Structure 1
């Protein structure tokens, strides 16, 4: 199978479209099936609806199963509606059980029970078992297509078995060993198996120090474990150490992408509304609660300005610098927020300590404040006829605002994390609004104190 280069992809697409339009089954299959599965998916996605339907006629359910797996859930749903019932059932029999379970659960397929009853019983049982796990757990993302060994088998016997069964396994780089009670007893790498003597038994080759995860562990915890150990796969066990499945690195990549997308949603206060496939009405409905909540926070800001109305009436020029102070403080707080959320996600804060990160952000905010204060005081004194008092008020206010903003940006997610809430909830808009309130309080308090000298 060849992976297409970018310059070849369009030529192949044109050729495949030509074969489809001419109903040339043989030429289509020779051209299409020699492609890498990823390229097959891209070519299929580029086709019009009529072309996609023609592909379904020219490919068997087994051949199309690789393409179906490569589509996102929204695309799978659209394609699924084009499939005949028997074709869909046959296709699901050739797909990994975890992919079938994900599709049936996420898309809430109405005839899911009928599909499962019509599937191969062994495959259906795997899907049903996976669907029973709570979402976002190790059990929900594990695969049942793995090879396990008996301790009594020899290296030569295992290699012979792999020749027969490896084609159906998710991965063969790690082979997990079970005892007579199906408990996880050890692990054998493919490398260890190849270099072993043919008559050596598995229990002589295997390592008994096996890192595993429990079936109800959070998927993010699993992702961090695989990343930390640089594993290609990790076994999933029950509380009594029975092996029930494995999680491979490609599943973990999906988890990391999902978690990153979720954090981005939280970070921008648009949870559930970033999917481009959503309608405008659905996106607006999902965003509305956040916008309304932030609007009420904005009322607090407006109220603070109202409290210092007398100061503003006497020195109207102070209003000109409000956006500058609020915006700069908000940006500083968001940067510190990103550092804290990232540190919590990677576990680096646990290693370095909470107070060390807070101290560092305070130092960073203070130094930024000093630099911005000096620059701003110089600019204001030049453009406002040497009004050094105004420059002092704005500059000092900015210094304190940035120092506070950096600390708040770091502290809020850390406190939220201690409360067992996702730290990404401390989103940019919330931090920005909080810093707006504090920076205005600082600015107007200093200005009001020095009002007599300004007038």
Structure 2
């Protein structure tokens, strides 16, 4: 139960500032001293997102203690803003009745997301005590594919019939608004629930109350099927500047809606996921993930990297005698391989990003490949000349400078070509380009860089001694 206080509520200072550090130190002292009324006074005037950030700074026990001081309405706002680890921890500690009270204040998409982070037994325990209709809706929504429109939609939306008058529609929306938050768009459906069109609240307010909805609605509305991937949904919001979109089933019956705040969460989630995957990490890994669990998730890709490194080393072993005769080659060959790897990573980043945003498709692949090949050639010419000049200045050997300059040119050309082609090939094979591209490209550039550099050195060996 939220404590009462006659003092004015305070706001949480901006996080990552000196002011916040001082405030948080004082707040932590209040928590550890059990001064409940002062804790509530410190947080009651804050935005729920700031409230959640404060809880993230606390240990689980302390965070849950603070969370329990507030009423269900405040708890529901904050619970949605917490990260998955804290949501899961709190859900395991809360009693089913408490969870039921909180869930009555949330939309179906938020409930579905939160239940997905807890154990199946806990989720089932909670579903059993929810209202029967709500429980059935959540069960249906949890059956949809992960990361699909059906999984992230809210089943609460404002809809009227095309045959309704404006007066009747406004009366319906007033009732709907009591249970549905953020009504951006009013959808128009037929008697079977099939989506016909939509209209904005402004049109309802400015139109003659006796007019029919189907006379003023906007037809051919944008919608997504419940199996549409969430990344595609985000692309549609960005392309058409949407604030809300309808979700339909196989028969075009409207079953939910997705709003812009859901899409912002998707964009952040997908961006984080791509960054993790490009580093060979699981998107589920967090700072507080147990050490051995993190090890298990990372070790596979490190073993794959080890295998590719051994492959590159085997190429070097073919030229051991050449390296023994011209030891300076050992100091220069990492430059060629390293520059190829860096250039390849640049190409991967551009292609993977444009694939993710939809700006690059399999139908326009040649445009991206041609551009990256051109950049590879130009990079190769510039850096090849620059490297050969530097080697000549420091080593005084014209042939050695020619060898490294030529190898640099070839490897950067290969880096641009392979760096743009590998992500597209993986996309065709339905493998996430973000997670596998870098390994293949680095392997190619290492092998090709070592082979061309040492191969040319061996060919011109008599001029290098």
1:216-365 alignment to 2 at 5 Å?
216-272=227-283, 274-350=285-361, 353-365=364-376
- Say whether residues 1:65 and 2:76 are aligned partners: yes
Residue 437 of structure 2 corresponds to which residue in structure 1? 427
* 3-state secondary structure, aligned to 1:213: strand
* Structure-1 separation of matches of 2:394 and 2:131: 80
* 3-state secondary structure, aligned to 1:185: strand
Residue 393 of structure 1 corresponds to which residue in structure 2? 403
Residue 456 of structure 2 corresponds to which residue in structure 1? 446
1:29 Cα shift? 5.7
* Structure-2 separation of matches of 1:304 and 1:47: 52
* Structure-2 separation of matches of 1:28 and 1:302: 60
Residue 180 of structure 2 corresponds to which residue in structure 1? 169
- Say whether residues 1:214 and 2:225 are aligned partners: yes
- Say whether residues 1:130 and 2:141 are aligned partners: yes
1:119 counterpart (130, 146, 154) = 130
Is the CA contact (8 Å cut-off) linking 1:17 and 1:51 kept in structure 2?
no
* 3-state secondary structure, aligned to 1:136: coil
Give CA deviations for 1:282-337 in whole Å, capped at 9, x if unaligned.
11111111111111111111111111122212212111101111100110011011
Is the CA contact (8 Å cut-off) linking 2:60 and 2:86 kept in structure 1?
no
* Structure-2 separation of matches of 1:12 and 1:201: 57
Give CA deviations for 1:65-108 in whole Å, capped at 9, x if unaligned.
11111111100122223322211121122222222222222322
* Structure-2 separation of matches of 1:374 and 1:2: 63
Distance 1:306 1:45, change over 3 A: closer
Q: Is the deviation greater in 301-310 or in 351-360?
A: 351-360
* Structure-1 separation of matches of 2:21 and 2:169: 44
1:242 Cα shift? 0.5
Q: Is the deviation greater in 261-270 or in 404-413?
A: 261-270
Structural RMSD (CA):
2.6
Is the CA contact (8 Å cut-off) linking 1:177 and 1:188 kept in structure 2?
yes
Residue 393 of structure 2 corresponds to which residue in structure 1? 382
Distance 1:212 1:97, change over 3 A: same
* Structure-1 separation of matches of 2:452 and 2:287: 41
- Say whether residues 1:35 and 2:33 are aligned partners: no
* Structure-1 separation of matches of 2:462 and 2:436: 40
Residue 193 of structure 2 corresponds to which residue in structure 1? 182
Distance 1:361 1:2, change over 3 A: farther
* Structure-2 separation of matches of 1:372 and 1:17: 58
Is the CA contact (8 Å cut-off) linking 1:2 and 1:36 kept in structure 2?
no
* Structure-2 separation of matches of 1:350 and 1:180: 39
Normalising by structure 2, what TM-score?
0.89
Give CA deviations for 1:251-279 in whole Å, capped at 9, x if unaligned.
22222222222222221122346422211
1:444 Cα shift? 1.6
Residue 377 of structure 2 corresponds to which residue in structure 1? 366
Q: Is the deviation greater in 418-427 or in 375-384?
A: 418-427
Is the CA contact (8 Å cut-off) linking 1:294 and 1:430 kept in structure 2?
no
Normalising by structure 1, what TM-score?
0.91
